[in-house]
Structures are given as structure tokens and as C-alpha cells.
């Protein structure tokens, strides 16, 4: 198992991010939830999607057309 430290919680998970993630409150040193990683991935992906759409919508025409080119 691996541990990833956040500011207020720690996340205990498999190295390949399969299965469940145990979320532990640092303040109480107590498990507050056990969540399937797939659910967390979906939640964070929704945020990333929203941020990227916002960036795309605010690009100039030139920035959008040159996106991904090596110019």
C-alpha cells in the first residue's frame, strides 16, 4: 500500500491506483471514508475537463490554432 499526504487528509491506496482509497483525517487520525478509486478519478476528471474547457474558450484564434504545434 502507498500513502499520499494531503494538507488535511492522507490517502492510502494501491500503487497502481486500483481498488479502494482509504481517506484518513490527519486531525483525528481516523478513517473518514473508503472510496473506490474509480469514483475519485471520475470526480477529478470532471474538474480537469471543466478547467480545460474554460482555457479553450478563452484562447485567441492564434493560440487555439497553434495548440499542439511546434512553432
Boundaries of every domain in the chain: 2-66
Distance (Å, rounded) from C-alpha 50 to C-alpha 57?
A: 11
The reported pLDDT for the residue numbered 70 is 58
The reported pLDDT for the residue numbered 33 is 98
Instruction: Report whether 52 contacts 39 (CB < 8 A).
Output: no
**Strand 20-25 to 30-36 pairing:** antiparallel
Question: CA-based angle 18:31:23, to the nearest 5?
Answer: 40
Q: Is the pLDDT of residue 71 over 70?
A: no
Query: 41-58: per-residue pLDDT in tens?
Result: 999 999 999 999 999 999
Amino acid at each position: 500500500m502507498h500513502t499520499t499526504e494531503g494538507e488535511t487528509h492522507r490517502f492510502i491506496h494501491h500503487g497502481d491506483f486500483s481498488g479502494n482509497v482509504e481517506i484518513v483525517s490527519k486531525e483525528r487520525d481516523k478513517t473518514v471514508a473508503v472510496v473506490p478509486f474509480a469514483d475519485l478519478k471520475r470526480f477529478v476528471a470532471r474538474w480537469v475537463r471543466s478547467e480545460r474547457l474554460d482555457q479553450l474558450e478563452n484562447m485567441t484564434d492564434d493560440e487555439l490554432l497553434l495548440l499542439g504545434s511546434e512553432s
